[in-house]
């Protein structure tokens, strides 16, 4: 089998993964003297910051998914292949995919991070993560399926287990999904299900740390806590989920909550690809890189984004935060450095520039931290909207997302509460 990528005179840069990091790198290499090959198991880039809105029926999946082929329609000597990378052979400068082998001059691993269930097989089996559009859609389907099942439940216990939703993890994803679910419960569900009393529905956020959004300031943490509690989200701090059997969450030794829907937003781990020595990996399944994002011991293999662990940036001795900004900045810098290698020019060390962070909890409720400036509430929420709208790819998508948001703001009543069951593809 072969990937059928034509050989050209210019060096071939193979990028594994078209997330924020890989996409930025590919864009910046455009017009330079390279053949660029992007490999991804999906045919689209996903805008992860808004996955929680797909899961909570606030946005269509297509609004935050962008087909790579459309993004790169106008780039020369660019090739996309929808494949899964199976193994890297660093010595041979080749890699193996499910559709054949491929030679590279430069390899950039931007495979991102997946869900970390910390080895708990039960949680992995029963909990719903939301790190991808497929996962967010599965979560949307199951949330609404549970409400339907609650209506035909025979016991109060069964009804409660169908209604209650437990979210594990108090980072931005956990906070945002808890807020969105709470707004849905308070405003939308009583209209959709007039027969049902949603006052008994519990939305519970379990956080391992002593505060929410622990990468932000204590001010933002306490404001998020205030917002969520005002929306009737129950929060458990310093709490550790020990087990989940699909019916009950067990945490803090002796506590249990009945729920059929556990949302897992508690941790991530690097998406590992076979072939690199164990010594290449650091904590969190991340690939150790030098200040130029080169994998230790491999001058033509790089790692960027969530999968990369750089300890050389003195302000971040334990690695950079695994967020979009790090990915984008590393992709941009690596494009420059690969070009410099070709020109025999000096490489530039990566320095992370913290542009701030933000999270939205509900309408008119957000926390924003820019360098030296913290604010919350309505204005923060507007800033959050503008920043996210600007980041979405595609004019039409931006427009549709904005339309959905405006519509939802005034009506609390989008018509996306669909349970679209999947059909398996055939003879494939």
CA dist 82 and 39 (Å) reads 6
Shorter beta-carbon distance to its own copies: residue 346 or 415: 415
Per CB under 8 A, the segment of 1-9, 16-24, 281-289, 383-391 that binds its own copies is 1-9
Beta partners for residue 292, in sequence order: none
Instruction: State yes or no: residue 8 binds its own copies (CB under 8 A).
Output: no
Near its own copies in 84-123, by CB under 8 A:
99-100
Q: How far is the CB of 389 from its own copies (least distance, A)?
A: 16
Near its own copies in 166-195, by CB under 8 A:
191-195
Q: Render the burial of 218-256: b for 16+ CB within 10 Å, e for the rest.
A: eebbebbbebbeebebebbeebebeebeeebbbbeeeee
Which of 62, 230, 238, 283 lies at the binding interface for its own copies (CB under 8 A)? 62
DSSP character at residue 32: S
CA dist 17 and 167 (Å) reads 28
CA dist 387 and 122 (Å) reads 38
Per-residue contact string for residues 377-416; x = within reach of its own copies by CB under 8 A: -----------------x-xx-xx--x---x-----xxxx
Which of 141, 221, 239, 337 lies at the binding interface for its own copies (CB under 8 A)? 141
The label of the residue with tokens 């979405």 reads 392
Chain-centroid distance of CA 285 in Å reads 16
First CA to last CA distance, the chain: 16
Q: How far is the CB of 271 from its own copies (least distance, A)?
A: 16
Which of 79, 93, 185, 388 lies at the binding interface for its own copies (CB under 8 A)? 79
Which of 70, 92, 210, 351 lies at the binding interface for its own copies (CB under 8 A)? 70
Shorter beta-carbon distance to its own copies: residue 40 or 369: 40
Distances (CA, A) of 24 to 27, 71, 334: 5, 11, 10
Per-residue contact string for residues 252-281; x = within reach of its own copies by CB under 8 A: --------x---------------------
> Burial of 317 by CB count in 10 Å (0-12 exposed, 13-18 middle, 19+ buried)?
exposed
Binding residues for its own copies (CB under 8 A)? 1-4, 6, 42-44, 60-62, 65-67, 69-70, 73, 79, 81-83, 99-100, 125-126, 128, 133-135, 137-138, 141-142, 144-145, 148, 151-154, 191-195, 246, 260, 394, 396-397, 399-400, 403, 407, 413-428
């Amino acid at each position: 089998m072969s990937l059928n990528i034509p050989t050209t005179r210019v060096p071939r840069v193979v990028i594994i993964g078209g997330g924020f990091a890989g996409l930025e790198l590919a864009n910046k290499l455009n017009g330079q003297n390279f053949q660029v090959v992007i490999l991804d198991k999906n045919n689209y880039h996903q805008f992860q910051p808004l996955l929680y809105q797909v899961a909570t029926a606030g946005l269509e999946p297509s609004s935050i998914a962008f087909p790579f082929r459309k993004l790169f329609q106008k780039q020369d000597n660019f090739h996309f292949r929808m494949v899964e990378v199976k193994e890297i052979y660093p010595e041979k400068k080749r890699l193996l995919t499910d559709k054949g082998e491929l030679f590279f001059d430069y390899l950039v691993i931007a495979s991102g991070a997946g869900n970390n269930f910390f080895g708990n097989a039960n949680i992995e089996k029963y909990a719903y993560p939301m790190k991808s559009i497929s996962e967010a859609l599965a979560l949307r389907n199951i949330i609404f399926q549970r409400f339907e099942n609650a209506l035909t439940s025979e016991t109060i216990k069964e009804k409660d287990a169908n209604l209650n939703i437990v979210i594990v993890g108090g980072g931005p994803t956990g906070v945002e999904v808890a807020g969105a679910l709470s707004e849905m419960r308070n405003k939308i569900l009583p209209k959709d299900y007039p027969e049902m009393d949603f006052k008994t529905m519990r939305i519970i956020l379990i956080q391992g740390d002593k505060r929410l959004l622990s990468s932000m300031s204590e001010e933002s943490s306490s404001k998020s806590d205030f917002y969520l509690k005002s929306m009737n989200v129950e929060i458990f701090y310093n709490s550790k989920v020990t087990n989940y059997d699909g019916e009950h969450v067990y945490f803090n030794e002796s506590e249990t909550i009945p729920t059929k829907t556990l949302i897992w937003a508690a941790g991530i781990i690097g998406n590992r690809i076979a072939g690199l020595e164990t010594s290449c990996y650091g904590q969190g399944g991340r690939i150790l890189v030098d200040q130029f994002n080169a994998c230790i011991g491999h001058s033509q293999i790089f790692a960027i984004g969530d999968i990369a662990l750089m300890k050389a940036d003195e302000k971040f001795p334990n690695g950079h935060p695994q967020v979009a900004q790090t990915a984008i900045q590393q992709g941009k810098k690596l494009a420059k450095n690969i070009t410099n290698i070709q020109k025999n020019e000096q490489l530039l060390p990566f320095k992370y520039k913290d542009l701030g962070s933000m999270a939205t909890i509900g309408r008119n409720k957000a926390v924003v931290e820019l360098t030296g400036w913290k604010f919350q509430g309505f204005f923060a929420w507007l800033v959050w909207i503008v920043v996210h709208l600007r980041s979405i790819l595609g004019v039409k998508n931006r427009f549709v997302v904005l339309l959905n948001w405006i519509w939802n703001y005034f009506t609390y009543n989008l018509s996306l509460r669909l349970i679209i069951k999947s059909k398996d593809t055939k003879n494939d």
